Structure 1
Amino acid sequence: MAGGRWVRGVGAVALCLLLPLAGCGGHMSADSAEAEVQHVLDLRSAALLRHDETAYGATGTRTEYTRLRALPLASWAYRVDAVHRTASGATADAELRYRVAGYDRAPVAARRTLTLARTADGTWYVTADLPAGKAGQQLWDQGTVSAVEGAHSLVLGTGQSADGLRAFARMADRAVPDVSREWGVDWARKVVVLVPRSLEGMAGLLGSPASNYRGIAAVTTGEAGGSGRTPADRVVVNPDAYAVLGDMGKQVVLTHETTHVATRAHTTAATPLWLSEGYADWIGYLGTGRAPREAAPELARAVRAGRVPAALPTDHDFGFTSDPTELAQAYEGGWLACRMIAAQWGTARLDAFYQAVGAHGQRSGAVESALKQVLGTTPRTFTARWRAYVRTELG
């Protein structure tokens, strides 16, 4: 089984734990080692799903069992890709696939490296289960997971109080119907929010340096594209940046990120960031009563200084490593573009424009085609109208 195999973790499988030795000198073949380790992981997965701590402990360390106790799992399975013998035992390269019950439409995949040792009678057992080399962490890698479930949300945290997690659930529960009211109900209408202990924890989950997210209150993970089998997105919070926001700002952030979850099936490689981020901000700010100068302070300062942007923000302008002022102006410019479409063409046209861009299939020509078909305009005319709108609203 050089390529690995999947066995669902729903019960014990009838494999002999100790397979016959192959070759001279009692050395096991690679296939035999992989089969033995796969069997141990199948037993481990089955025990976790049926909440059998004793059976789980018989396969190795109980650390993950304790940390995962609060996570509602619908499935959990490993596929072993390779086993590497070491002086003290072995390491295994594996892919973990799991689904959170009631939220994930398809399994979430994570690359893992497992360390194994053998008992005196030759039985394999797991001593460690960690993220593979460049893979991001899972929340349980950072500590025991706590869970709070709302009407439309599941909030998972490490190092957070129950009251704090309940506050996130209340805001997420408010965000979901607010998004559905504008975007429609053709999405899961549920959101999973991950709240690590710190900025460093957020960066660990995303597999990137903490410096990339300093000042960013939250991001949404997820595979773009509407395959219908995309796992539920995770809204990952930066508790350090989130804590300094006021109540309105916190709600805007959660509604913004929930919008990304709702629009994921229509957000593709053809969708520019000014549209996806601008639309999420447009819904996020609805009903807040914030005037344009309040919601777009950095761009307003630039406009008052005579620096009206010459063009819509590029994807590069939205880079987390960009200058903070330029990053803020990019978000604000995208928001004003979507706000202008809603004001001048109507909200139905804004939604149709978003979907038409994403349906194009490739970036080249996507915006141009949607501008013509949905809004009846051209990129040059649209940009000129946007620049005039920015000047009027912020000047």
Structure 2
Amino acid sequence: MGDSAAGQRAVRHRLTRRRVLAAGVSLVAAAGGATAWAAWADAADDRREEQAAEVEQTLSRRATAVLARDAASLAATVVPVASGGSAAADLRQRQYALVANLAQVPLGDWRYRVTAFDAFPLPAVLGTGERVAVEVELGYRLAGFDAQLETATQYLIFERQPDGRWLLASDGTEGGDHPGNTVLIWDLGPVRAVRGRYSLVLGLRDPATLAAIGAEADRAVPDVSAVWGSGWGQRTVVLAPLASDQFGALLDADPAAFADIAAVTTGELGASELGRTERITLNPIAWDSLSALGQRVVTTHETTHVATRAQTDAWTPRWLSEGVADWTGYLGTGRTPQQIAVELGAALASGGSSGSGGSGASGGSGSSGAAARLLAALPADADFSGTAPALQEAYQKAWFACRSVVLHHGQAKLVALYAAVAATGGRGGQDAAVDRALRATLGVGTAAFTAQWRADVESALRR
């Protein structure tokens, strides 16, 4: 997903003879002629290529050391403490910590690729020797779970030593004028790994908690496959940070924005699951507040997102993507609509005082007026970015929409509808795509489906 942007950055920062000549036409005469300038440009180009090769050799040594769990060899790729001072000592210590943190992680591959040179301004505090700032793509693979490399971005500084070697002088943790390294769970502390039949849990929590998470993850995979088939990887990787700030760091987001969300599945929309296993990241405070049933529902919900990722696109409405995840999550739990949609039922009973959902006319008073306000339309994508209780109401409306499909057309049609929305290619926009998919699979358009959904909600929650 980031390859195109990284490629553009690499082109922008690469010093080539063509770029130098194009930018320095006005300097040719001052340099004594085109021949002298071309020779200088060629020499500069050759030096950059040599520099790149030397940095990549150091990165290759680092990758070999990580895979071998050889902390001493990894530390040997760092500038000497004698020349780098306390900063170099701290950097060297972080190499030992990285290897220790990875001890239980089943790595199948670990490699680096330079994506840009001169990627950010060099901070003066790190010294005045010959240095280069590079943007690097770390590619790693979890053995037994990733058939393709997962990638992360790092911003590193290398410094040339008197013997000609280029060693790591900064791993990007000192700040600097760059976006910041992608945070991976082993950057946060020693990782414990719990491997099951279908799942891998990587976490910083106590062994008993991680084992319980792994048991739920293993149970969820066959339950999801029973609905969505076996045409996905049928495996999950769950990340279990210890604290909210760690959760936010892994998502590169403000954890406060996810206060009411127990877990998040990350991955590329439309990506095939045959080669990539998406990551399910648990929000520790929200997760711990759930009952055992709640944790089971959430785990199955997120596993459904993994299973449907290949058919989830930018035009897939969130009422459908979140609705099918909740529908699958609640299957077999024995929970009634009233038990599942507590907040929505309360809002209907109180006249919609939570202020969530829809912009239709009030249409009367009391419960009928609340229904008109709350159920004027299927929830919009933006409704899933709110806070409690409106956020819960959006999810509950989405669950009811999928229930209506199953209730009147069968579960197979719900699966078919999801695929049909993806197959539209988003032509004409989301609303048009959904309307076409509804007509193709259920024989009704959005208006008729919404009316049926509204009637089903009112019927179920007024019993």
TM-score by length of 2: 0.76
1:116 pairs with one of 154, 158, 161 = 158
* Aligned-residue CA RMSD (Å): 2.6
Mapping 1:137-176, distance limit 5 Å: 137-158=183-204, 160-176=205-221
Mapping 1:31-70, distance limit 5 Å: 31-60=49-78, 61=92, 62=95, 63-70=97-104
1:120, distance to aligned residue in structure 2 (A): 4.6
SS of 1:365 mapped into structure 2: helix
1:72, distance to aligned residue in structure 2 (A): 1.3
Q: Which runs of 5+ in 1 are unaligned?
A: 6-21
2:376 pairs with one of 272, 294, 310 = 310
Code of the residue aligned with 2:270 in structure 1: it is G
**Is the Cα–Cα contact under 8 Å of residues 275 and 338 in structure 1 kept in the other structure?**
yes
For residues 66 and 104 of structure 1, do their structure 2 counterparts lie closer, same or farther at Cα, with a shift above 3 Å needed?
A: same
Counterpart of 2:405 in structure 1 is 341
Code of the residue aligned with 1:113 in structure 2: it is Y
Q: Deviations over 1:314-338 (max 9, x none)?
A: 001011xx13211111100000110
Code of the residue aligned with 2:64 in structure 1: it is A
Code of the residue aligned with 1:55 in structure 2: it is S
SS of 2:171 mapped into structure 1: strand
Whichever structure has more helix as a proportion of its residues is 2
Mapping 1:1-395, distance limit 5 Å: 29-60=47-78, 61=92, 62=95, 63-84=97-118, 87=124, 88=127, 89-130=131-172, 133=179, 136-158=182-204, 160-227=205-272, 231-304=276-349, 305=351, 306=367, 307-308=370-371, 309-319=375-385, 322-362=386-426, 363-395=430-462
SS of 2:146 mapped into structure 1: coil
Q: Deviations over 1:199-246 (max 9, x none)?
A: 111111111111111121001000010456763210000011110111
Code of the residue aligned with 2:261 in structure 1: it is I
- Worse-matched range after superposition: 112-121 or 365-374: 112-121
Code of the residue aligned with 2:188 in structure 1: it is Q
Code of the residue aligned with 1:324 in structure 2: it is A
Code of the residue aligned with 2:233 in structure 1: it is A
Separation in structure 2 between the aligned mates of residue 393 and residue 28 of structure 1, nearest angstrom: 74
Separation in structure 2 between the aligned mates of residue 251 and residue 229 of structure 1, nearest angstrom: 25
For residues 136 and 58 of structure 1, do their structure 2 counterparts lie closer, same or farther at Cα, with a shift above 3 Å needed?
A: closer
Separation in structure 1 between the aligned mates of residue 180 and residue 71 of structure 2, nearest angstrom: 30
**Is the Cα–Cα contact under 8 Å of residues 260 and 387 in structure 2 kept in the other structure?**
no
TM-score by length of 1: 0.88
For residues 210 and 136 of structure 1, do their structure 2 counterparts lie closer, same or farther at Cα, with a shift above 3 Å needed?
A: farther
Separation in structure 1 between the aligned mates of residue 274 and residue 112 of structure 2, nearest angstrom: 19
Separation in structure 1 between the aligned mates of residue 319 and residue 62 of structure 2, nearest angstrom: 45
How many pairs are equivalent? Answer: 376
Separation in structure 2 between the aligned mates of residue 96 and residue 196 of structure 1, nearest angstrom: 21
Separation in structure 2 between the aligned mates of residue 128 and residue 148 of structure 1, nearest angstrom: 32
Q: Deviations over 1:320-373 (max 9, x none)?
A: xx1321111110000011011112110111111111111211135221111111
For residues 251 and 197 of structure 1, do their structure 2 counterparts lie closer, same or farther at Cα, with a shift above 3 Å needed?
A: same
1:41, distance to aligned residue in structure 2 (A): 0.4
- Worse-matched range after superposition: 103-112 or 264-273: 103-112
1:254, distance to aligned residue in structure 2 (A): 0.5
SS of 1:75 mapped into structure 2: strand
Q: Deviations over 1:31-82 (max 9, x none)?
A: 3332221110011112222333343232233232222222212221111133
1:150, distance to aligned residue in structure 2 (A): 0.9
- Worse-matched range after superposition: 172-181 or 102-111: 102-111
For residues 97 and 70 of structure 1, do their structure 2 counterparts lie closer, same or farther at Cα, with a shift above 3 Å needed?
A: same
Identity %: 42
For residues 119 and 69 of structure 1, do their structure 2 counterparts lie closer, same or farther at Cα, with a shift above 3 Å needed?
A: farther
Counterpart of 2:25 in structure 1 is none
- Worse-matched range after superposition: 110-119 or 189-198: 110-119
**Is the Cα–Cα contact under 8 Å of residues 172 and 180 in structure 2 kept in the other structure?**
no
1:164, distance to aligned residue in structure 2 (A): 1.1
Structure whose CA Rg is larger: 2
Separation in structure 1 between the aligned mates of residue 190 and residue 132 of structure 2, nearest angstrom: 26
For residues 332 and 188 of structure 1, do their structure 2 counterparts lie closer, same or farther at Cα, with a shift above 3 Å needed?
A: same
Q: Deviations over 1:3-44 (max 9, x none)?
A: 599xxxxxxxxxxxxxxxx99xx9994333322211100111
For residues 229 and 93 of structure 1, do their structure 2 counterparts lie closer, same or farther at Cα, with a shift above 3 Å needed?
A: farther
For residues 78 and 388 of structure 1, do their structure 2 counterparts lie closer, same or farther at Cα, with a shift above 3 Å needed?
A: same
**Is the Cα–Cα contact under 8 Å of residues 233 and 275 in structure 2 kept in the other structure?**
no
**Is the Cα–Cα contact under 8 Å of residues 223 and 230 in structure 1 kept in the other structure?**
no
Separation in structure 2 between the aligned mates of residue 347 and residue 303 of structure 1, nearest angstrom: 27
**Is the Cα–Cα contact under 8 Å of residues 191 and 235 in structure 1 kept in the other structure?**
yes
SS of 1:102 mapped into structure 2: coil
Separation in structure 2 between the aligned mates of residue 39 and residue 173 of structure 1, nearest angstrom: 41
SS of 1:324 mapped into structure 2: coil
Q: Deviations over 1:106-150 (max 9, x none)?
A: 211211112334545342322543476155411122112221101
Counterpart of 1:9 in structure 2 is none
